[in-house]
Structure 1
């Protein structure tokens, strides 16, 4: 997320007179609208809940809140561990609250809605104080335009931001595949798999190493690392390296436990 985009959002919040001291969202959809939107996105909500519960159980995510919002920024579903119930209740984050700038100030979901891309926020990049303790990540789901939705994670874990980004990309991939009835690319069925070197490149990339650092660690040229990254993306039908990492986790090429 470009600094100028973040600054522009903060300026808009300031000009509309939004109090930074807000302790919870300002706006909530009425029950009729929430019920209508929930029915419209019923399949998505059900699959979102199923996948998030599976992810949180598998990786013991005790300090993370998962959010599904529609194209208007209405929170359709929240999933979080019981240990966060008091904090979430105090912030009044629940089904029906809006994650728009007008309601919550600058936040990852509102920015993902505006720019239609993955957004990663430090806590203090959120405009309002009630979100300052939470690292946040949001991304759009590849879904028909009339049903555009957004995924978000709020986490108190400040040390593994890249892991949460990858988890969100993994969740996005699963939901997009399920809802758009995509199939695994044919080369998986043909038995082709990533080479050991490409698995290593993806694992090291997931741990935040630069191309130069990876080349030194694997004793290969930077050009070779770029080549293997590009080929891994092509083989996984991924638009970028982050998506390639998410897909490689999904298909079992690398383990999330190897990402620090």
Structure 2
């Protein structure tokens, strides 16, 4: 992985030189127009909501002043979470919603390399190409949903070395964001959920056919209270609010016809 990263950094430097990108630029060169940015934000509304929800739960636990960046699959910044002073500082650098993190916009950076390699990348200040990020420690990693990248998460800190535990922390945070996003979008597969038992699948099948709890208990040789218990467990395992939603989700997951 180290050699691959080093080679990709060198290739990226070469590309930056070929396109005539000046190292001394102090602000990204490419940003979305207002209308295009509005469209992007609307398209990624749910991802942004989940990003904010998950990151805000963990930010208070971090002593240092970390910056959390959410970027779409094309490298455009969708959202930033950090304290107010840092937010003002990075906004003054031209880093705001709609900013592009592609090489042609701001040189070699963790996000541009994560986009190339489709895997987590950690960059130290000296490994960045442009002066914009010469004090930044950054780690960026993709969000995979069903083998498709829907965006990238970057955690950065300025003028402080990044703590080693952040490498594991970003994996955990991405895991939480991906699972919450899949749940919100109804994209979960049975592998993502706690497995239903054979008995619970039988119960949900019969409920889908209109059987009453009493009829199910007689058919399966269970107490009515046991049927009620299994129905509550089914709702919990499928992460839904009621049994009608459980039936709909079971059909979607091909658990029942």
Question: Which TM bucket (shorter chain)?
Answer: 0.5 to 0.7
How far apart are residue 144 of structure 1 and its match?
A: 5.1
RMSD between aligned alpha carbons?
A: 1.8
How far apart are residue 60 of structure 1 and its match?
A: 3.1
How far apart are residue 58 of structure 1 and its match?
A: 2.2
Q: How many residues are matched?
A: 185
How far apart are residue 146 of structure 1 and its match?
A: 6.6
Select which of 164, 168, 173 maps to 2:175: 173
Residue 153 of structure 1 contacts residue 168 of structure 1 at CA under 8 Å; is this kept in 2? yes
Secondary structure class of the residue paired with 1:148: strand
Q: Give unpaired runs (5+ residues) of structure 2.
A: 196-257
Secondary structure class of the residue paired with 2:60: helix
- 11-20 vs 151-160, greater mean Cα deviation: 151-160
Q: For 1:178-219, what per-residue CA distance to the aligned partner results, in whole angstroms no more than 9, with x for missing partners?
A: 122354666xxxxxxxxxxxxxxxxxxxxxxxxxxxxxxxxx
Q: For 1:112-140, what per-residue CA distance to the aligned partner results, in whole angstroms no more than 9, with x for missing partners?
A: 01110000000111100110100010000
Residue 67 of structure 2 contacts residue 82 of structure 2 at CA under 8 Å; is this kept in 1? yes
Equivalence for 1:14: 17
Whole-angstrom distance in 2 between the partners of 1:176 and 1:145? 12
Equivalence for 1:162: 164
Equivalence for 1:191: none
TM-score by length of 1: 0.67
5 Å-filtered alignment, 1:106-145, equals 106-143=108-145
Secondary structure class of the residue paired with 1:180: helix
TM-score by length of 2: 0.67
Whole-angstrom distance in 1 between the partners of 2:120 and 2:159? 19
Distance change in 2, residues 1:159/1:131 (3 Å): closer
Secondary structure class of the residue paired with 2:144: coil
Distance change in 2, residues 1:15/1:85 (3 Å): same
Q: Give unpaired runs (5+ residues) of structure 1.
A: 187-260
Equivalence for 2:68: 66
Q: For 1:136-161, what per-residue CA distance to the aligned partner results, in whole angstroms no more than 9, with x for missing partners?
A: 10000012577620111121264444
How far apart are residue 51 of structure 1 and its match?
A: 1.4
Residue 143 of structure 2 contacts residue 149 of structure 2 at CA under 8 Å; is this kept in 1? no
- 13-22 vs 48-57, greater mean Cα deviation: 48-57
Give the number of the structure whose alpha-carbon radius of gyration is greater.
2
